[in-house]
Structure 1
Amino acid sequence: MTDQGFSTRAIHAGQRPDPGNGAVAPAIWATSTYAQDGVGGLRSGYEYSRSANPTRTALEECLASLEQADHGFAFASGLAAEDTLLRTIGRPGAHVVIPDDAYGGTYRTFARVHEPWGLGYTPAALTDLDAVRAAVRPGETTAVWVETPTNPLLGVADIAAIADIAHAAGALLVVDNTFASPYLQQPLTLGADVVVHSTTKYCGGHSDVVGGALLTSDGELAERLRYFQNAIGGVAGPFDAWLVLRGLRTLAVRMERHSDNAEQVAAFLAEHPRVAQVYYPGLDSHPGHAVAKAQMRRFGGMVSFRVADGEEAAVAACGRTELFTLAESLGGVESLIEHPGRMTHASVAGTELEVPADLVRLSVGIEDADDLVADLEQALAVG
């Protein structure tokens, strides 16, 4: 099915009509166990839903198709996916290069969970290839961990170039593709070994589910991931898998509207006198614009900006919006606003990953763009 278009695969991959009753929507298989045809005789390959569930299988097949991967694994959250991956590829004494503006939850996983276990990490500016090379430790680094665009500063990493650096050192390239979604970017086609998603975000798309995923075409790694997924057990439940699967069916049309709206919002902010800096890969002024244009279909729905009057003005602006809801998370149809320093990235305060105190992050939804611009205009007005 990989020769078919993205939207066709989003609607049909892993989602064939039920052979028994013809239902076109996938079923929610709310079962924990399955009848066996004799001792050890599995019926259709299912025995216990931690190991596999038909609804989860449908989601994993669809995600794999969209990321052009051979294998997909769905988890209870993005962090559950990350933890399982690190336990699969990491070990005490190993080392991972991470972004120097990584998502706060990812940083917390490395610094508070896996570093005490013995897994080392080095933050590096992934937009600087020399910095990536300097951070890699041949024979010790097991992976280079990339977010592109990054959260929340929208940095853009050259996936193909970093894949070459990682592979030359015998390391894997892991790409968190949450901000871009499979529609805007397919890292495996650019040399990545594993793709990570918080499917809570654009894949689900409606702020009503929490989930995560890992995608790879490395058969040996896939077997180890399958074992660890089952052994650790942080799997997606059938209803959560069904919600993400439903979201994927409209991913393409949603991402087009997210991108349309974000471009208008970013252009407005770039001209606003109370905005000191705008972070959006779609702007010609963005240092990663050329790379983003080469490896992404569009520039996505995430926009960050710095308020010229400082931290308290940024916090105040977050509290004055009416259409942009003050909330964490991102990627839903509704627009969200947050102050990363005090919200999603509070865990990196005081570290080398600390974000600017005057930074505001927007998840631009699919409402009418003129209304979103007007909301930000009144929120940024001097009261």
Structure 2
Amino acid sequence: MRETTRIIRSTLTEAKPGEPLHAGPVFAAPYHAPGDPAGIPYTYARSHNPTWTELEKVIGQMESGEGSSASAIVFSSGMAACAAVFGAVLRPGDVAVLPANAYYAARVLMQDYFVKMGITLRTAPTANNAQVAQLEGAKLLWIESPSNPTMEVADIALLAEAAHREGALVAVDNTTPTPMGQRPLALGADFSVASDTKAMTGHSDLLLGHVAVRDPELRAKLDQWRTLTGAVLGPMEAWLALRSIATLPLRLERACQNAQRIAEFLSTRREVSAVLYPGLPQHPGHAVAKKQMRYFGPVVSFILRDKAAAETFLSKAQLITDATSFGGITTTAERRARWGGDAIPEGFIRLSAGCEDIADLLEDIAQALEAAQ
């Protein structure tokens, strides 16, 4: 069965006469659990829930590559998923290698909490696989490709091989492409981490994340971390995620097509000084991205003259919602430097292509750019 068909049909229940096509969420805190709990699949909601189980099965299938089987564990947010990997792997005295331009919140979590608890942090840019030089003695290599928001690309397979030679585990933040666009585990990573708030669920109404692994021992460590910290999502969120993932093949294909067209269009505009999108042949990481990605993702970053030009563009655009986050079915954008924390110009815009008609989007972008001259 081909991937699109498998994903779309992955949330169906077993075909039994009179039964619904899709199971509803299971709401419970305690479950009936007489006697020895060892043989009881569900006992208490902080540890497990049947709706999580279904969602984890679907995501695990998506994360599995040819000849390898993955299992997933879901969390209450993408940052909860990041924290679980850090917490399950790192102990005082260990070395972690992160991209210097990784997602800002992940860097803050490492710097302000784990470093103060005894972790040594080394950083290097995503571009040109610069993290290779920092791997000696490392316990964990954290990769983000494409990076958010600068869309730099690293060779995941090359970095994973180098890290494993040094005895390090490898985690990849795969939020932007989703496992349908890129499979880190098949490229050699030990952890595939994502905020499923973004393109995975795609309707801008959920907060959740996941980590996928191949090693049962690593999964057990993540599971224990989730249970002990309570970083769990509710059954309603899990059910809505199942509903949303079924449309991922349709949403992602359209959004990535739109992102490619938008990037190509922006590249022709005099108002734009730079376009950062791995699907463009002139992008420095295009060859690597083409090798390891099946979709280049919905996020296009570009740079306008200054803060005023960027804010004018956003205020004049009629079909672009000014909002943070990305991966939704509607097109959004923001002047990313307003948050601080990233080494980017004041006129830097991160745009997330939605699924609207591309002709309408290009017309709207054109008039907004003209207003921002």
TM-score category of the 2 structures, normalised to the smaller one: over 0.9
> Retained in 1: the 8 A contact 2:313–2:371?
no
Query: Aligned residue for 1:99?
Result: 99
Q: List alignment gaps of at least 5 residues for structure 1.
A: none
User: Residue 379 of structure 1 aligns with which residue?
Assistant: 368
Maintained 8 Å contact 1:75/1:213: yes
Do the aligned partners of residues 358 and 48 (structure 1) sit closer, same or farther apart at CA in structure 2, a change above 3 Å counting? Answer: same
More displaced stretch, 179-188 vs 15-24: 15-24
State whether structure 2 residue 313 is matched by structure 1 residue 314: no
In the alignment, is residue 160 of structure 1 matched against residue 157 of structure 2?
A: yes
User: Which of 223, 228, 243 is the aligned partner of 1:246?
Assistant: 243
1:184 aligned partner: 181
How many angstroms does 1:201 deviate by?
Answer: 0.5
User: Counterparts of 1:1-383 in structure 2 under 5 Å?
Assistant: 4-13=1-10, 15-17=12-14, 22-36=19-33, 38-41=34-37, 45-68=41-64, 69-129=69-129, 131-138=130-137, 141-307=138-304, 309-343=305-339, 346=340, 348=341, 353-382=342-371
Q: 1:128 to 1:152 in 2, by over 3 A?
A: same
Do 1:254 and 1:366's aligned partners in 2 also have CA atoms closer than 8 Å? yes
CA contact (8 A) 2:155 2:288 kept: yes
Cα-to-partner distance string for 1:276-295 (whole Å, 9 max, x where unaligned): 00001111100111111111
Is this contact kept in 2: 1:265–1:373, CA < 8 A?
Answer: yes
1:15 CA displacement: 4.5
Whole-Å separation in 2 of the counterparts to 1:336 and 1:120: 37
CA distance in 2, matches of 1:115, 1:39: 44
Is residue 93–residue 120 contact of structure 1 (8 Å, CA) maintained in 2? yes
What is the deviation of 1:14?
Answer: 6.1
Shift of 1:214: 0.4
Alpha-carbon distance, 1:200 to partner: 0.2
In structure 1, distance between residues paired with 2:16 and 2:119: 47
- Structure 2 CA distance for partners of 1:39 and 1:18, relative to 1, 3 Å: farther
Q: For residue 334 of structure 1, give the secondary structure of its aligned residue in structure 2.
A: coil
* Matched residue SS, 1:79: helix
CA positional deviation for 1:18: 7.7
The 1:293–1:357 alpha-carbon spacing in structure 2 relative to 1, beyond 3 Å, is same
Deviation at 1:20, TM superposition (A): 9.2
Shift of residue 49, structure 1, vs aligned partner: 1.2
The answer on whether the counterparts of 1:84 and 1:232 sit within 8 Å (CA) in structure 2 is no
Q: How far is 1:35 from its partner?
A: 0.8
Q: 1:41 to 1:311 in 2, by over 3 A?
A: closer
Structure-2 change in CA distance of 1:19 and 1:33 (3 Å) = farther
* Maintained 8 Å contact 1:328/1:338: yes
Deviations 1:180-219 (A, max 9, x none): 0111111111101100010100111100100010000012
Contact 1:9 1:62 in 2 (8 A): no
Asked if 2 retains the 8 angstrom alpha-carbon contact of 1:178 and 1:201, the reply is yes
Is the 1:15–1:58 contact (alpha carbons within 8 Å) kept by the matching residues of 2?
Answer: no
Q: TM-score, normalised by structure 2?
A: 0.94
One-letter code of the match for 1:86? F
Shift in Å at residue 43 of structure 1? 7.3
1:41 Cα deviation (Å)?
4.7
SS of residue matched to 1:144: strand
Q: Which amino acid aligns with 2:320?
A: F
- Distance in 2, Cα, partners of 1:55 & 1:316: 45
Partner of 1:375: helix, strand, or coil?
Answer: helix
Instruction: State percent identity of aligned pairs.
Output: 37
Deviation of the 1:127 alpha carbon: 2.4
CA distance in 2, matches of 1:123, 1:319: 36
For 2:114 and 2:202, locate their aligned partners in 1 and report how far apart those are by CA, in whole Å: 30
| 1:55/1:238 contact within 8 Å kept | yes
Worse-matched range after superposition: 270-279 or 295-304: 295-304
Superposition RMSD on alpha carbons, in Å? 1.7
Match of 2:139, SS?
A: strand
Cα 1:375–1:199 shift into 2, 3 Å: same
Q: CA deviation at 1:254?
A: 0.9
Cα shift readout 1:213-272 (whole Å, capped 9, x = no counterpart): 000001211111111111111012101111111111011111110111111111110000
| 1:311 to partner: Cα distance | 2.6
The answer to whether the Cα contact below 8 Å between 2:76 and 2:231 also exists between their aligned partners in 1 is yes
TM-score (structure 1 length as normaliser): 0.92
**Alignment CA distance shift 1:11-1:323 (3 Å):** same
Q: Distance in 2 between matches of 1:14 and 1:221?
A: 26
How far apart, CA to CA, are the structure 1 residues paired with 2:59 and 2:97?
26
- In the TM superposition, residue 13 of structure 1 has moved relative to its aligned partner by 3.7
Letter in 1 for 2:136: R
SS in structure 2 of the partner of residue 278 of structure 1: strand
Change (3 A) 1:43 1:24: farther
